Chain A
Amino acid sequence: MSGHSVPSEIPIRHLNRSGPTSTALGIMIFAGVVSFFAALFTDPALAWKSYVVNWNYFTSLSLGGAAVAAVTWIVKAKWNWPIRRLHQSLVAFLPISFVLFVPMLVVLREDYFPWIAMMEYDPIVQKKAAYLNIPFLVSRNVVGVAALFGLALGFVYLALRPDLGALGRGGATAAHRWRERLTAGWAGQEAEENRSYHRMTRLAPVLVITWVVVMTILSFDWAMSLEPHWFSTLFGGWFFMASFWGGLAATAVLAVGLKGRDAVFDKHVGTPVLWDLGKLVFAFTVFWTYLFWSQYLPIWYGKLEWEQAWLATRLGPPWGGLSAAVIVLCFVVPFAGLLGARPKKSPRVLQSFATVVLAGLWVWQYMLIFPSLHHEGDAVFSALTPLIGVGFLGLFLTAIRWFLATFPAIQVWQPPVDPEPLEAEGR
């Protein structure tokens, strides 16, 4: 990572909320809700599959932001000082995500999971009954998701708190009330910084481990178990590393977006920050593909019928085209586009390729679920699925916008580790 120095003064900056953007976000959410209900009345299976794909995708991005924030905190990263708050802002979607998770647990217990019906007659599925049963599924999901979301929100709360003291008290707006609430029991700037630093340092590893475990459970329950005979030991790892990568790509898109809108961001989110962010987006492009290949190759080579079925479904018609799109969007385009230093340093180029990555990850999530639940006569792709996704995107962006408008969009306090001149590494 390139050398970075944190300035001695960091401005407190809030995102301005404009009317047209609010309208646009409202339209997106409305379109998503209408599309979901339209699908629910015409093809309920399509509606719920689309809902789960989008919940998985946006929750993964949000948790990816939390994981990036925690991991960079653990390794005492200095390069990301102006964009720490952007990683944290992705977590703002989690309370909404938790509410949206409830219908999945309540409604989908009847016939969504193929193993419910197979449990009656399939001896292999019957051997998994201790894990594949609705009461245990609901329990582990509720407990796991509540624990993970709680830890992520707690981590962000600790990161926010020392910044809020500098903003002063009082004010009647909703933002002021939030700040007031979050700074209850204020102990003074220095004490608050020390306390947050030490608590975040203790909490970050717990958050990362919980993220790994819960994402693994979510991947098994909401994607892998949809083909109950199929299993892959790497599936959980592939799933949570994609979340991490998505968190990085979403941060890149946000960072460049804010840079174009605000002079303060433009000044602080400079070329070295974008370059390092670009390096990480590129590195995880390679790493995601490595994990894909590590899973694909033994399955292809092993030639076991039950194991190849999962791949064969996705590689042949009618899904082959979408699988190819995943490889193109998740590997070919970002790898070719971000190779070399220049594209990573160019804000627009970095944002474009990070957007391609995010699009690729959406198609990837789609391909984890739709082929497994496909029945004869079902459409391979319906416009309603991305339209429901537009609704989720509206909620996701609304949450982030609220967060960055309510709290300082650049983290003002920084951990008490200052950048040192890295003489020996300056080659």
Chain B
Amino acid sequence: MRQNPSNRFLHWLEIVPSIAWILIALLIVFCLITPHFATLDNLFNLIRQGAVLTIVATGMVVAITSGGIDLSVGALIGLTGTVIGFTINRGLSWPLAMVVGVLVCSLAGLISGLIISKGRIFPFVVTFGMLFIARSIGLGLSQGGSIHIAGQAFSMIGSGYFLYLPIPFWVTLVAALIVLFFLKRTVFGRYIFSIGSDANSASWMGIKVDLIRVLVYVLSGTLAGVAGVVMASRVNTGNALIGQGTEFFAIASVVIGGTPITGGRGSLAGAVLGSFVITVLQNGLTLLGLSSQLTSAIVGIALMLGVIFAQLVYRGGLRGK
């Protein structure tokens, strides 16, 4: 508990997630030691690279807060792209194909959510199965390789600008705002916190736990679909394997952002900042001239330490509840 409530500055310091300081420190370090890091081009580049992870992380934070997890998001990113490629190449217009791609992911989320809530199976197990299923469907649709997406219009989402800023920025912003709205301004959001801290009590209170759970996974799946659209449009191909591993980076973003993996509490801002940290780290190290393998090694080690540290801090040890 704060001893001195009148000290506004300290209060402000307290509500800023710790991860923000790490992000600021990283940005300063990279600005000083990395050539071409602090340029407008690179900033836009960062936004485009980071959008996919940030969007997925906003969905993941909802799933984890509700006491669950969604391991299928990486595979869903790949699935979206292949569905879009598959349908566009069969003559569907690109906006429609995009909607179909996202809806397929919502459907996958719906199925996961139904099995989790009605079958009473651990989210880990169900979404783990869904990972296999989604990746396999993507591979099957693309015949194992990748599908080139015909036409230039679709690639505008990844490379275009709106109001002087890259379109992925706006997509990410809208996604984050929608999740924020759900979490903070709707009953649905409040219930997510309740079922995350104690599903049984929530159910006795008359909260429709099953329904909320289903909605959580629909939301997470849909956001993975949106991320998949951005990804597919950036590379202008549908590739079933392209999102592989994103689920883990999204989970890492959420955890280093201060959300306990056990659910019940969650920080959307933390998750978004966490995903920025990962993106900045990857981008900065690459600009330093490190090989991609070495970059991923260093990012891996940093995340490992970050995850351990975050769990220690946010478990309520160092900081209080």
**Do A and B interact with each other, yes or no?**
no
Chain A contact residues, CB within 8 Å of chain B = none
Chain B contact residues, CB within 8 Å of chain A = none
